[in-house]
Amino acid sequence: MIFHKNNLYRALIYIACIFVFNMCAKKLKPVEDEITTFENALILISMDGFRWDYIQFANTPHLDEFIRGGVQSEGIIPPFPSKTFPSHISLVTGKHPEEHGILSNKMYDPVFDEYYYIGQNSKPVLEEKWYEAEPIWVTAEKQNKRAMTMFWPASEAEIMGIRPTEYFIYDESISNSERVSQILKWMDYPERKRGNFFSLYFSDIDSKGHKYGPNSKEVYRAVEKMDSIIGELVDGLKDRKVYNNINIIITTDHGMASTSEDSVIFLDDYIDLEDIEVVDWGPASAILPKVDIKSVYSKLIDAHPKLDVFMKGGLPKNLHYNNHRRIQPIIAIAHEHWSITDRKTYNSNPGRYNGGNHGYYSNYDSMRGIFLARGPGFKSGFKGPSFNSIHLYELMCYLLKIQPTDNSGFLDSTRIYLTAE
């Protein structure tokens, strides 16, 4: 029998392939059985309106355990104004509101001749044109990381042509437990689909703070319910054996100050409301005059001892709130605990002012929020000083091992919380 060399080579190759296949088959496991390492992964959690000191007055066993194994600051300082959307966007971009373009929860753009407003089913929230800075999930996606957001203000919008790999449009009807379940579902993805950056957002504590005030039993009960939600997340991560392998940050957008129906400033006591449009009511009210700006300013500047009034460009530099077209010509800022309204609105429901609010100067202790973190990137059992929320973007980029884009934060401001490099 005559063998050609080619036939001999084919036979040898065939035998070798069978050998290698059998060896590999003994070692390979199905993808779903592989242990997830979650290297350089991060879960960012916001509990809206969670003031820095609430945890001292509520029963929070899960958060207490979290802190013992991680780090806690004396508070996180929001940007001005200390409102939900400006603060959340600053936190994930490392930029002040005048830099990222979201100046308030409601604002008017004179170039677009349109209003931006928040809330469920808000069309402007989804429009890319309003956002002028790069959030962490875009930074991650641009560097071949996967971002998966279970709510975060503006995370459902296309920004710079990019959305998270997976995201949800805000729907307040989705329960807190369902939100946690979605995060855990993402944890179960095979490695080829697994995310690197995850976000969670909860609004319960803020809602109770507005209605009942920051020192109420209703707020403390809301804190305790959120503690249980964190317990659900932690238990799920422990079941998957990834709790100690993933970095987790729990923070917020602002704190909460108590308000009273006896501490109210009525703008219509000092000026004809027909002469102005109040684009955004609140502790920091944005006023667009319909008549001469200086005449409106002159009537308001010394109107009330608990009211500071500025013309655009004249606000204190440390507020970083002078240089954007969406800043209105006049900004009226109430002192802590005071409200700005008109008599018609007040008379229709005076009780609404007996509760809590935010949006005040950020240097008030009442505006500080929580910062808690744990994971392989953080120290254990460490408590440090408060810091400005714009520094979190650099910190998150460091944990994700991605290059930050241009921003106003500094990693050195949070480095004290990190494990030794």
96 φ, ψ to 5°?
-75, 160
User: How far from 339 is each of 77, 136, 267, CA to CA, in Å?
Assistant: 21, 34, 10
Catalytic residue list: 84
C-alpha span between 89 and 198 (Å, rounded): 16
C-alpha span between 95 and 320 (Å, rounded): 10
Closest CA to 284 of 312, 262, 247, 260: 312
Residue located via tokens 């579902």: 185
Residue located via tokens 């290059």: 403
Q: Which two tokens stand for residue 54?
A: 């609430």
Q: Which two tokens stand for residue 267?
A: 């703008």
Exposure b/e, 147-176, CB count within 10 A at least 16 = b: bbbbbbbbbbbebbebbbbbbbebeeeeeb
The answer to whether 307 and 335 are in contact (CB under 8 A) is yes
Q: Which two tokens stand for residue 346?
A: 């007040």
**Residue 402, by phi and psi: left (phi above 0), alpha (psi -120 to 50) or beta?**
beta
C-alpha span between 358 and 106 (Å, rounded): 14
